[in-house]
Structure 1
């Protein structure tokens, strides 16, 4: 069979306190609810019933004052005083109607609101009758007192006013009765709350007593003895006395006392083992101290060797750094030479283009000169023809013959000049062609020079990059060696510290033996390995 879940002492105490708190909360909630009802009734009594009594009473007082003012207006002989009384009468009638209108919403029942409506209707009739009375009194004065019809109408108005006052008094009584009923209901609620809260308080007190007894019994069962006995055993263990015998009769295995007995037995075993192990720890600590000293000496030698290696690597790093700097300078100069060679190639290319344009222009000039020569030849032929025609004309063509001779002379000079220009242009074309061929050859040579300079620059850059990479690698190696040297020095310090701690551990083992000697084991402990 499965065992049920056993609750701990703390859980049980919490549950007990929660149960008592629940009873208290239930009592408080009931009290709050009943107090809320009492408060609601008190608020209703004040806001509706007491206010209703006040409004109804004031309405009755206004109607009484209005009737009195109407009577006084008939009795006074002075017209100003009579008009003043009439004003008083009107003010009180308005006040009565205003109070009744405020009173109507204060009734919850339809019957009450109908009663207020009836009183309001009587008040309006009363006000209308008194207004007729006041109007004749203002116009006719004291003479209306001799009119029987007027006096009869006044009597009827007073009768209506008495009915309205009686209705207002009835409203006052109704509100007073409602207030009395609310007061009785409030008293009943108070008595009910008193009885219920008293009963709940009594039940809560009984429940607290029962739970306290149950918890005390459970606590003693879990402790296994009286708390003072458990404290006595605890103090004995704290002083190192493990030989104290415990009475375990009628003690549950789950109790604190049984657990302390188990702890006492375990402590005897542990202390026995510690006695035996302390000597072994002290011996091991001595061996560790001797080995640490030897290791410290070897570590110091290794650190010295690493320091020398670090110095060598630093010198090598400086040499590589200088080589890298020189390689960078050479690379910069090679780059500058490549740029200048490229600029020279571009200049030669420009020169070739110019020479080609000059050659083309010279060819064009040759063609133009040939055209001029041909024009001169044609002009010469035309001049000969003109001379022939002038000779045929005889005396009449003499002038024309002179002009033809001049034109022929000019044509011959133009032909001569054209031949000279053609000769010069042909020489210029020959020279330009030669220059163009030389410039082309120069362009090819400059292109080859630029290519060679570029290859040299690329090789120098590769050398510079390789030198930088070598510098970086040496720096990394130098950093690693420096870190190794630092770690080795730290290891040396750590080894010295370990040696010191080993010496301290040996002393602490001796101190531990001295401390453990305070335990009184009584019987020989059972060692469990």
Structure 2
């Protein structure tokens, strides 16, 4: 089968049709040989047996003519009529002699020769009796001629006819045998011819079926493969054996399917990679958007904190001016109080040294002390106001510190977010580079296919 599978379509068809033609030629040759054999047998029948039978029939006919002429000679009185009958007898005897010579030359079988020899013996007796009859008629002795005819010639004539019938029967038997042989041979030839035709038809059908199957089976597999590829089924596979056109076609289709499978697999892998990279880019973009929104919110908070810080700083400046004014007033009062205290101390010293001198001065020192107490009260009140102002400044400073902390936090977030955004940008760039590589691979894969312009 490997040799047959390696045959291409043209040699395969030539082999099939050549085998059919060879079988047909053999049948024709056998038919011609059989026809020639039948023709030879038929010629043997036609040229040998049948002419002998016809000769014997003609011989017997001539013998019957002689018998009829002899009877006519007995009943005719006209010499002319009698002479005519004598001529007919002589003609028949000449024909019989010719027939006898022909049979002696053509009969070759032992039975035929024996029957012919007996016939010739009887013929000689009949000829002798006929000559005596003809002599009596020529003398005009019709009574003697009649007696000769009835007592001798007729008896030898019957024996003559019997011997002739025996030879004719024997020749007819040989003719029938030969005809039967021709018939049997013809029947055998017909049977052989019909058998050869049936064998030729069966072989033609088998060869046609094999030839058609060897072409249609790969075509069906090719159509099935094409249908599977069209449906996206890459699991269908074919096995091609041989080196003929259909095997080459099947292997080409198999290679095409395999390459298409590789292309589809590569495209699928790259498409999944593209989908993954796209998802990463989308996630990074979403994170970047969210962080940008957080940046915007932090900027808004920073702006609000800066506004609050500006307002606080302004309040602190106002409070500082008030504290400065109060401090200046307290300083003046303190200077006054210090002077008064100094006066009081001096006075108390004087009082201590001059206690005994004057009660009036004690009274004056008392008033001074009272004035000093009043002055100290004013100082205490001024100090309280300064303390309140300082507390306001402290609260404002605390608010400023909170605002500054918020600003520092926002600034820190603003500082981290660009770094995170930079990382996302790097990730997006890497994903974009991966997408570019996948796109180049897809282009390289798709570039294997040629499309019409």
TM-score by length of 2: 0.47
Q: Pick the structure with greater CA Rg.
A: 2
TM-score by length of 1: 0.41
